[in-house]
Amino acid sequence: MFAITGITGKVGSATARALLDAGHQVRAIVRDQARGASWRSRGCEVAVADISDAPVLAEALAGAEGAFVLLPPVFDPAPGFADVKATIASIREALLRSAVPKAVVLSTIGADVHRPNLLNGLRFLEEALADLDMPIAFLRAAWFMENALWDLPSARDQGVIRSYLQPLDRPVPMVATDDVGHTATALLQTSWTGHKIVELEAAPRISPNAIAAAFGKALKRSVEAESVPRAEWADKFRAEGMKNPMPRIQMLDGFNEGWIDFRDRGAYSKKGTTSIDQVIRDLVSKPESDR
């Protein structure tokens, strides 16, 4: 049996589905029983645990032959990432207490970057687990293609997507969450020693213009990409409710300036097989409640 955290999110659910399809038993770790109902109906065992409660999380992980561990995303971290670091400490303690024999830990492109930016939280996660004496695979995933969901309303209604990734013709490392789930599943089904890093992106890399073109195909209308001027980012993010937008701005700078990337521009990365056209077509065709 494999224990899956973050199973109600896109990556966790993709991993759980891939494990079930491969004939494995899955333990769904959720914050409350109601969130586990759909997984229980699919034959999963359900364990209730908050990832910030180390003893309870350890109990949820115990007895599994492997675990998929996901740090809940934080888009507006407290200064110094104090909130993120507290959750990381809980994850570390839970892995130690549970004695789970191996773990695949979702990380990110840019986890090796020390310049301040939003992705530092996952660098802190990798560093916190670095001395654990257990097999750990840090799965460094590229920018999720499914982030384009935020562009669907404007693409559909106005024929435009407004991009913070710039210039618009610059390809960026991206990956579909289904490919992340299948890669995590493949790792969990193998044995290894020590710690390793697995970089994952789609081939080819994807530009904002390519995302706009994919929306155009799926929506059967003309869709163009439009740059959001950098001088407007902070005000826009604060208007959306962010209190500390600078880490997000720094992350975008990292992608746009090229200092957030895989080693040797992806020379060693695994390549997912899902295209941006497939992902956008799926986002457009799904009912809103299922996106």
Strands (E), 143-275: 143-144, 160-163, 174-175, 195-202, 224-227, 270-272
Strands (E), the chain: 2-4, 26-30, 45-48, 66-69, 103-108, 136-141, 143-144, 160-163, 174-175, 195-202, 224-227, 270-272
- The pTM of the full predicted model, rounded to 2 decimals, is 0.97
DSSP secondary structure letters along 118-161:
TTHHHHHHHHHHTT-SS-EEEEEE-EEGGGGGGGHHHHHHHSEE
Angle subtended at Cα 148 by Cα 86 and Cα 185, rounded to the nearest 5 degrees: 60
pLDDT at 194: 98
Q: ω before 204 within 30° of 0 (cis)?
A: yes
Lowest-confidence pick of 140-149, 208-217, 247-256, 279-288: 279-288
Angle subtended at Cα 88 by Cα 82 and Cα 94, rounded to the nearest 5 degrees: 140
**Which whole number is the average pLDDT over 150-159?**
98
pLDDT one-digit tens code per residue, 52-103: 999 999 999 999 999 999 999 999 999 999 999 999 999 999 999 999 999 9
Q: What are phi and psi of 97, to 5 degrees?
A: -70, -40
pLDDT one-digit tens code per residue, 193-234: 999 999 999 999 999 999 999 999 999 999 999 999 999 999
